[in-house]
Structure 1
Amino acid sequence: MQLAKPFKIPESVLVVIHTADLQVLLIERADHPGFWQSVTGSRESLDEPLAETARREVLEETGFAADAPGSELRDWQLANVYEIYPRWRHRYAPGVTHNTEHVFGLQVPAALAPILAPREHLSWVWLPWQEAADRCFSPSNAEAVLQLPRFSRAPMS
């Protein structure tokens, strides 16, 4: 007997992966080709710290270790509450219609080639931040990328 998959927790992270010169990594969803996004993912448990959710999702979706030398993960202290697209509501408990998304930035030392999970993502691209914002399918993702100059720091030494 197969156990039912638990419902997703309607609290997630969005991680804008970028370089010091504001190149942004976008990945294309496998379940919706043409939908480009930053790394996203839900908490696995209610007590999982959001920074740990961000580190886990970055590793799962790109193969990047957020604590690798030359990388810096920052909580931007921004949260978006948005309506979950109807096509994805079946993943959540009945009646759940909104998600709270916490925004993080991960500065990496260079435009590295990610290792994608083929069941999740088809391809990747590094783009200048304004072009990346234009390509994001999610309005909250586009807005986060547009905030990048405000939250990025000078090149790390």
Structure 2
Amino acid sequence: MSAMAKIPQSVLVVIHTPQLDVLLLKRTGQEFWQSVTGSKDFEDEPWPAVAAREVLEETGIDAHGPGCRLHDWQLENVYTIYPEWQHRYAPGVWHNTERVFGLEVPSYAGVRLNPREHTAFAWHPWHEAADRCTAASNAEAILHLPRMAVSSL
């Protein structure tokens, strides 16, 4: 794999309050609403480290800060990489594995967006957030939230 090729392993982090309001981010230059996502920087980077790094980079939230609880949901999605993103990966890499996490934060934690990635954010009740997500795997993850948030207590 070339030094510039993306690793086809990423995280999806559903950020939520104790009341199950979910943070959605609007992708720069698109009408695309999503949770935090991002790829590993190196092959053996631990999943929780990837999740915490991406949350900090995209929202300014410290996943290990006071009142925050990062939880690996032990769920993985495997999906075909869209043709328009194929150039980011090594030749012959057609699928990405996405590990799902939940991050409980204090009610309405302060959000500081990275403008290179997102232009807006909004908090929604979990069922509305699922309806507003663009990606089906993201919506499905949010629909797991009530069960996963209870199981992580």
TM-score (normalised: structure 1) = 0.92
Partner of 1:20: 18
Question: 1:139 pairs with 136, 141, 153, which one?
Answer: 136
**Which residues of structure 2 form unaligned runs of 5+?**
none
4+ residue runs over 2 A deviation: none
Offset at residue 5 of structure 1 (A): 6.3
Aligned pairs (5 A) from 1:71-86 = 71-86=68-83
**Which residues of structure 1 form unaligned runs of 5+?**
none
Amino acid corresponding to residue 18 of structure 2 in structure 1: A
Aligned pairs (5 A) from 1:1-157 = 6-31=4-29, 33-153=30-150
Offset at residue 113 of structure 1 (A): 3.1
| 3-state SS, counterpart of residue 147 of structure 2 | helix
Give CA-to-partner distance per residue, 1:33-85, whole Å, 9 cap, x none: 21000000000001110000000000000000000111100000000001111
Q: Is the 8 A contact 1:129 1:148 kept in 2?
A: yes
Offset at residue 87 of structure 1 (A): 1.4
Shift in CA distance, 5/116, structure 1 to aligned 2, threshold 3 Å: farther
Q: Is the 8 A contact 2:61 2:110 kept in 1?
A: no
Aligned-residue Cα RMSD (Å) equals: 1.5
Q: Distance in 1 between matches of 2:141 and 2:34?
A: 11
Q: How many residues align?
A: 151
Q: Distance in 1 between matches of 2:84 and 2:133?
A: 18
